[in-house]
Structure 1
């Protein structure tokens, strides 16, 4: 299983994919259709356009975003080059991102001095999938994904085709996207309960501009002349569509907005209708899993999200964790006791200290050693009894 949380995952990913044949994208439209199905366009990845199937289960959200980002860039490379040269792909991608980082402001300078191109790209992708929110805001946010990563893919296409990216290309594309999303939210006939979260999704995803309500009052006032290829046009149509979606469907008035936008972009009505239908199906199918279409108390959301992440980490390190615990007789006795009755203050301190010592020996569990990591220990302890043999828990006796 590929683990994007540790070094070496890109080489492993490409090596595994190289073992299975995968048809090249036929053209821009074919590439876009295949990419849209994965959910990458909407910031909620449900699958991957890859030769070898890749499961999304038992993965952290950031790991899914990293794989989705790498794979979509690779599929763009395959579209333009009609080639599967993994080595050249990695070199080209690193070179592309080098051109994207402004001189005089290079937060990835140390990363780009790494020894191998793959390790450079791993660090770059790790940085790109981040949102612009601080750590505290991310933890208590409904929205934890970067929804505008496809702009990088569009810029990569420009680089592969022309050898360079037009000046301020990403800034302009992002500005157009923000204007359309903002205008589409303002033009809705009714207020949807997810509108605020959707606006927050894009606000946390912008890199080159500041997200704000556009001053443009009419769709006819939009300047879309900069959009030159089909991918750019399909992209803004879909983002407008997902902005206009209400609890059940896109209403007639909102359909007019999309068809008018399609007219300005010179996209025929059938393509616009296809976008409306796809978005409706995608949201209805995945709505319960899409963060910006769900509402809960922020603290509950944080706890649920953290619990899921910790459960994934514990399951991955189950064998090692059980071995370390079994070697500590006192810890085993305390955990056994905790299944029958509450521990006193001193016993709880002993469990905390010994579990933290164990976490030091397992790299993936160093999350518990970070500042505030002690708050996660109750979650860790919660899962440990379920991992141990049933004979360990006396409450399971017949």
Structure 2
């Protein structure tokens, strides 16, 4: 299983999927349509565009998004260059990121001076995925990954075809995206929790501009004629659809806006129909999974997020964690007794200390040693009975 949270995952992904990549060389239509259906365009990936699906169970949303970004960029590379050479592709992506994020790229080079091209790309992708500054704000936020991540794919496409890329091009494209989104939001007569969270999502995804509603903004004043590739135009239309979506219903003003945008982008009404239909189907089928539609108070969301994180860590380190716990006889006894009586304060301290000592020996579990990590221990303790042999209590009593 691929683990995008540790080094080496890119090389492993290419080895395991050498004959599993889809060839989109016949055109962009199928590529964009399938990318949209995967949820990557909407910032919520539910599948990967490969010939045969791979197991995503146990991977977090940001880990799946990392793979989706890499796979999408490789698909674009194959369309443009008609080449499937992994090493050349990785080198080209790194050159692309070097163009658009000089400071971060130089910092990573100093931090990992002898890193392979794949390891450098892993760090670049990690940097592009994350939008929050720290784990606390990440846990308290519904915004986990970059919603405008497809801009990287479009910019890479531009770079491959033109052979050059300026920061101004990225800034202008991002600004056009936000102007269209802002204009779409301004048309909506009623705002919902979904709209408020979507605004936060876009706001946290911006890298070059600030999200703000522009007064007296008109569609006619947004320079869209500079976007000559159809996938760029389709993406701008889909962003407007995201901003306008509300219970599958479009008001008259919203329908008119989308029609006018379609004409200004010089794409067909068929494209508009496909865009509208796809987002309706996608949200209807996956609404329960999308954070925007499951708004809860910050405390509950924090618990859900940390619970998912701890569960993932325990699952991936199950064998080693079980071995370490079984070897600690005093800890085993205390854990067994805790199922039948309340431990006193000294015993609780011993359990906490010994669990933290075990976490020190398992690198992936050092999250429990970070400031505030102690609040995660109850979640870990909750899963311990599931790790140990079912009869461990009876055995201890003997």
Which band: TM-score by shorter chain?
Answer: over 0.9
Hey, what does 1:13 align to over in structure 2?
13
Moved more, 102-111 or 133-142: 102-111
Hey, what does 2:287 align to over in structure 1?
287
Contact in 2 for aligned 1:24/1:82 (Cα 8 Å): no
Hey, what does 2:77 align to over in structure 1?
77
Distance of aligned partners of 1:125 and 1:167 in 2 relative to their CA distance in 1, 3 Å threshold: closer
Moved more, 49-58 or 87-96: 49-58
Hey, what does 1:180 align to over in structure 2?
180
Following superposition, the deviation at residue 337 of structure 1 comes to 0.8
The CA distance in 2 between the partners of 1:364 and 1:314, in whole Å, is 9
**CA shift digits 1:222-275 (9 cap, x unpaired):** 221221210110001001001101134333331221111101101111110110
The reply on whether 1:40 has 2:40 as its aligned counterpart is yes
**CA shift digits 1:172-220 (9 cap, x unpaired):** 1100001111110110132223111000000000001111112343323
Distance of aligned partners of 1:82 and 1:289 in 2 relative to their CA distance in 1, 3 Å threshold: same
Query: For the aligned residues, what is the CA RMSD?
Result: 1.8
The CA distance in 1 between the partners of 2:249 and 2:387, in whole Å, is 44
Q: SS where residue 70 of structure 2 aligns?
A: helix
Distance of aligned partners of 1:21 and 1:261 in 2 relative to their CA distance in 1, 3 Å threshold: closer
Following superposition, the deviation at residue 25 of structure 1 comes to 4.2
Following superposition, the deviation at residue 27 of structure 1 comes to 1.3
Hey, what does 1:354 align to over in structure 2?
354
Following superposition, the deviation at residue 5 of structure 1 comes to 0.9
Contact in 1 for aligned 2:143/2:201 (Cα 8 Å): yes
The CA distance in 2 between the partners of 1:76 and 1:21, in whole Å, is 12
Contact in 2 for aligned 1:216/1:222 (Cα 8 Å): no
Following superposition, the deviation at residue 133 of structure 1 comes to 4.5
The reply on whether 1:153 has 2:153 as its aligned counterpart is yes
Q: How many corresponding residue pairs?
A: 394
Q: SS where residue 356 of structure 2 aligns?
A: helix
**CA shift digits 1:290-312 (9 cap, x unpaired):** 11222101110010111011111
The CA distance in 2 between the partners of 1:90 and 1:271, in whole Å, is 32
Contact in 1 for aligned 2:23/2:75 (Cα 8 Å): no
The CA distance in 1 between the partners of 2:60 and 2:136, in whole Å, is 18
Hey, what does 1:3 align to over in structure 2?
3
The CA distance in 1 between the partners of 2:318 and 2:102, in whole Å, is 44
Hey, what does 1:120 align to over in structure 2?
120
Hey, what does 1:326 align to over in structure 2?
326
Q: SS where residue 164 of structure 1 aligns?
A: coil
Hey, what does 1:303 align to over in structure 2?
303
Distance of aligned partners of 1:54 and 1:25 in 2 relative to their CA distance in 1, 3 Å threshold: farther
TM-score (norm 1): 0.94
Distance of aligned partners of 1:114 and 1:164 in 2 relative to their CA distance in 1, 3 Å threshold: farther
Distance of aligned partners of 1:234 and 1:366 in 2 relative to their CA distance in 1, 3 Å threshold: same
Hey, what does 1:377 align to over in structure 2?
377
Hey, what does 1:131 align to over in structure 2?
131
Following superposition, the deviation at residue 79 of structure 1 comes to 1.3
The CA distance in 1 between the partners of 2:94 and 2:105, in whole Å, is 17
Following superposition, the deviation at residue 106 of structure 1 comes to 4.3
Q: SS where residue 193 of structure 2 aligns?
A: coil
Distance of aligned partners of 1:392 and 1:21 in 2 relative to their CA distance in 1, 3 Å threshold: same
Hey, what does 2:314 align to over in structure 1?
314
Moved more, 171-180 or 102-111: 102-111
Distance of aligned partners of 1:138 and 1:167 in 2 relative to their CA distance in 1, 3 Å threshold: closer
The CA distance in 1 between the partners of 2:132 and 2:226, in whole Å, is 26
Contact in 2 for aligned 1:367/1:373 (Cα 8 Å): yes
The CA distance in 2 between the partners of 1:195 and 1:133, in whole Å, is 23
Hey, what does 2:163 align to over in structure 1?
163
The reply on whether 1:390 has 2:394 as its aligned counterpart is no
Following superposition, the deviation at residue 316 of structure 1 comes to 1.4
Following superposition, the deviation at residue 52 of structure 1 comes to 4.2
Following superposition, the deviation at residue 111 of structure 1 comes to 4.9
The CA distance in 2 between the partners of 1:134 and 1:383, in whole Å, is 26
